[in-house]
Structure 1
Amino acid sequence: MRTTHTARMAAGALAALLVLAGCSSKAEDGGGDKQAAGGVRTGDGIKGKTINLGVLTDMTGVYATLGKSVTQAQQLYVKQVNADGGICGYRLALTVRDHGYDPQKAVSGYTELAPKVLGFAQFIGSPFVAAVKQRIDGSDKALVLPQAWSATLLGSPYIRVIGSTYDIETINAIDFLMKEKGLAEGDRIGHVYFEGDYGENALTGSRYMARKAGLKVVEQKIKPTDNDMTGQVVALKKAGVKAIVISAGPRQAASLVGVAAASRFGVPIIGNNSAYAPQLLATPAAAALEANYYVASPSLPIGADTPQAKKLVADYRAAYPDDGLDNGVVAGWTGASAFGEALKKACAAKDLTREGVDKALLTIDAFDPGFGITQDFGDPKAASSKESVILRPDKDAVGGMTVVREAQASSAAQGYTPGAS
């Protein structure tokens, strides 16, 4: 359930937006550092006994299903924390803005909320996070936990990607194809990918793995508006590829898998986490997806056999009985839990300022809310994990996915440094 990225955003348009909207983000509610009862320092985003957190999501655009699941999971987390007495004596509050995956709305939403919140428990879309990165790192210094996994977001102490980045995830995906699906040295592997930072960061992983393993990558760049993958299947079949990686959206993955099956082109296909949604199992591509499609994931699925997963399933169903379950619920819960853990550690250090929360997150080196992969937030230059779980679609599973290979980091991923290839 990764956040898929559109074609490269118009740099000039974003720059203009930042000039217009990028004025000071001085806090309206925090008003600078203050000393609260018990000797805990507070500041921006804390008003009275409430810690205000921002959510910049997509509830009406191309990733509305993901945004809804992520946001509702975070609202559930906040409700439960507040029912248990809050954190450090403070209740949590989320202010949600829907940017509809539109760059202007994303930047203006950040500009509106940045002065009012302690940080962001969610920010969907790495192009939008990148557009305000200079402000985050420069004047605002508010912790941002994006729902985006581009390696271009690494390096900031204030923007912390949770899990493996797209390049690392792709390396692990190809390792799975080689170890368990017959892909071998000398073979050709197809890679269908969105233009822009999501697809191109994933392609970096393919190219790296190809050099390490003696493969040849046959590249097929597409746009997010390209929904029919017939041309790509024809080209890859002609090229004689033995497997395919897809770094695009669920719609493109369904078309690719469905067309390949109809063409009797039975090579294994694996997607990044963004390239699947359980709703695909209600489409004509369902049988082909279950038979020959795999997904690399930064966590166990929502239907995992762990106490935490089972409790989250029960709680989410009780809170949102009319909504289905998908891995967006896991992603949202994990992001909110990570922010909550940073708040708890900042409270213990008696510093709930933005600086204090940022420092607290960097001390967390073994975070796992119960979905199989431990995160280390200590080094902003590195992904918090190099592990991936390999999943497959399954209409009978809770959340529509089951585990094929447990969490692991391939030897190639272990030796890889984003940006150094």
Structure 2
Amino acid sequence: MTARTRPTRTLTVTAVAALLALTAACSSKAEDGGGDDEKQSAGGIKTGQGVSGSTIDLGVLTDMTGVYATLGKSVTQAQQLYVKQVNADGGICDRQLKLTVRDHGYDPQKAVAGYTELAPKVLGFTQFIGSPFVAAVEKRITDQDKALVLPQAWSSNLLGSPYVRIIGSTYDIETINAIDFLMKKKGLKKGDKLGHVYFEGDYGESALKGSKHMAQEAGLTVVEQKIKPTDNDMTAQVAALKKAGVKGIVISAGPRQAASLVGVAAAAKLNVPVIGNNSAYAPQLLGTQAGPALLANYYVASPSLPIGADTPEAKKLVADYKKAYPKDGLDNGVVAGWTAAGVFGEALKKACEAKDLTREGVDKALLSLSGYDMGFGVDQDFTDPKAPSSHKSVILQPDKTAVGGLKVVQDPGEAAEAKTYTQAP
């Protein structure tokens, strides 16, 4: 993948950035540039912010009450489980891991305030949900705080920073892989119209780049329908897509919007395949009125195998998660959270070996990590900050009988059009 110039942010991100400026102005630590305050600990290990002689403090900025509440809960609990298990085994570098969690409810003010509060106190972030919010603080992360952030966000606009590292394929590449599946397996063909329903802002517009690229390469026409995270009824969008005569639909939004889209399309007899990006599904949807339509005509592109994967690591995670949270269901948020915590943990182990637990030391350690797989079928390579850790996608389908409500219908792979795609503004 070639180097790229960072594109201009959308109005949504600009607004969030303005909030950041106001909040950061109240933080003396932010004004001071967030230096590491390096010191030498016992054993000759260099340490800095977020690291004491007994603990390593990590931050979590999640959504447990907003658009991605289901995802946020699963991601966070999986990371808490990881920390509990690591600490039970003695921790990392003779220190116990500690997570400090803040729920921003997918609200820009809360997200920026949460970052401003935690940034001076933690070594880095194992979670930050919301591409627009991560994008808004990316310059501060890169130029001042230099704390490693592993977001649960896959916008291509986040590429380029050595400190904000995407795990898995970005939304644009994932969308190319998704459309490739529709063309090879679901009857979409050259000359057809493809609907794309997407959130305004970094997430949706990153995915839209992928559909436009694939349309140009494959001879398709994209029919766009931009929506807001607060839009939950897709009746108008379905009507517009049906009138346009689309033969397939991509949705880059949340689970609620995906359920409405598929359910309304079925009622309107718009019988075309719909495929969503990885965050556009939750197994709880199968219990709603949209459940039958989702089972019949909905697919999900994912950066990894699902939680119900037939691997030893997946099976162990399922058993451990059920034991820790017996009242909660399983979904792919568990995989995302577990993988991010594992990647951060691996970077910490390598940094410990190098006797450098500063922010710079942990980031340097991550840059040496390649071919890493937590047991979910896709190797992750973090050696190039200008690229996502993978270009592959797994195509999944809702299934009531599968653990986590998803089964694999296409193994990890990358479309030919994704291999030649250049991530440019």
Shared fold (TM-score, shorter chain, > 0.5): yes
| Displacement after TM superposition at 1:209 (Å) | 0.3
Aligned counterparts, 1:257-296, within 5 A? 257-296=262-301
Contact 1:167 1:205 in 2 (8 A): yes
Query: How far apart are the structure 1 equivalents of 2:317 and 2:11?
Result: 31
| Displacement after TM superposition at 1:214 (Å) | 0.8
| Corresponding residue for residue 81 of structure 2 | 76
| Corresponding residue for residue 231 of structure 1 | 236
| 61-70 or 374-383: bigger deviation | 61-70
Q: 1:264 to 1:31 in 2, by over 3 A?
A: closer
Contact 1:245 1:271 in 2 (8 A): yes
Q: 1:404 to 1:34 in 2, by over 3 A?
A: same
Contact 1:151 1:419 in 2 (8 A): no
Query: How far apart are the structure 2 equivalents of 1:348 and 1:256?
Result: 50
Aligned counterparts, 1:78-117, within 5 A? 78-117=83-122
| 17-26 or 60-69: bigger deviation | 17-26
Write out per-residue CA displacement over residues 71-90 of structure 1, whole angstroms, 9 at most, x where no aligned residue.
Answer: 11001000100111111211
| Corresponding residue for residue 194 of structure 2 | 189
Query: How far apart are the structure 2 equivalents of 1:221 and 1:229?
Result: 11
Write out per-residue CA displacement over residues 332-369 of structure 1, whole angstroms, 9 at most, x where no aligned residue.
Answer: 00010000000011111111111100000011011110
Query: How far apart are the structure 1 equivalents of 2:74 and 2:238?
Result: 32
| Corresponding residue for residue 5 of structure 2 | none
Contact 2:194 2:248 in 1 (8 A): yes
| Corresponding residue for residue 316 of structure 2 | 311
Q: Which of 167, 172, 177 does residue 167 from structure 1 map onto?
A: 172
Q: Secondary structure at the match of 2:321?
A: helix
Q: 1:363 to 1:184 in 2, by over 3 A?
A: same
Residues 1:151 and 2:156 aligned together: yes
| Corresponding residue for residue 340 of structure 1 | 345
Q: 1:392 to 1:77 in 2, by over 3 A?
A: same
| Displacement after TM superposition at 1:70 (Å) | 0.6
Query: How far apart are the structure 2 equivalents of 1:304 and 1:31?
Result: 40
| Corresponding residue for residue 363 of structure 1 | 368
Write out per-residue CA displacement over residues 248-290 of structure 1, whole angstroms, 9 at most, x where no aligned residue.
Answer: 1111111111111122221111111111111100001111100
RMSD: 1.9
Query: How far apart are the structure 2 equivalents of 1:10 and 1:159?
Result: 20
| Corresponding residue for residue 24 of structure 1 | 29
Contact 1:172 1:410 in 2 (8 A): yes
Contact 2:83 2:97 in 1 (8 A): yes
| Displacement after TM superposition at 1:236 (Å) | 1.3
| 248-257 or 335-344: bigger deviation | 248-257
Query: How far apart are the structure 2 equivalents of 1:214 and 1:277?
Result: 32
| Corresponding residue for residue 182 of structure 2 | 177
TM-score, structure 1 length as denominator? Answer: 0.95
Residues 1:60 and 2:65 aligned together: yes
| Corresponding residue for residue 356 of structure 2 | 351
Residues 1:373 and 2:393 aligned together: no
Unaligned runs of 5+ residues in structure 1 are none
User: Which amino acid is the alignment partner of residue 144 of structure 2?
Assistant: S
Query: How far apart are the structure 1 equivalents of 2:421 and 2:105?
Result: 34
Q: Which of 399, 405, 410 does residue 415 from structure 2 map onto?
A: 410
Query: How far apart are the structure 2 equivalents of 1:148 and 1:12?
Result: 17
| Corresponding residue for residue 400 of structure 1 | 405
| Displacement after TM superposition at 1:6 (Å) | 11
| Displacement after TM superposition at 1:22 (Å) | 5.2
| Corresponding residue for residue 4 of structure 2 | none
| Displacement after TM superposition at 1:48 (Å) | 2.1
Query: How far apart are the structure 2 equivalents of 1:362 and 1:64?
Result: 31
Unaligned runs of 5+ residues in structure 2 are 1-9
What is the total number of aligned residue pairs between the two structures?
Answer: 415
| Displacement after TM superposition at 1:64 (Å) | 1.7
| Displacement after TM superposition at 1:417 (Å) | 2.2
| Displacement after TM superposition at 1:14 (Å) | 2.1
Q: Secondary structure at the match of 2:84?
A: helix
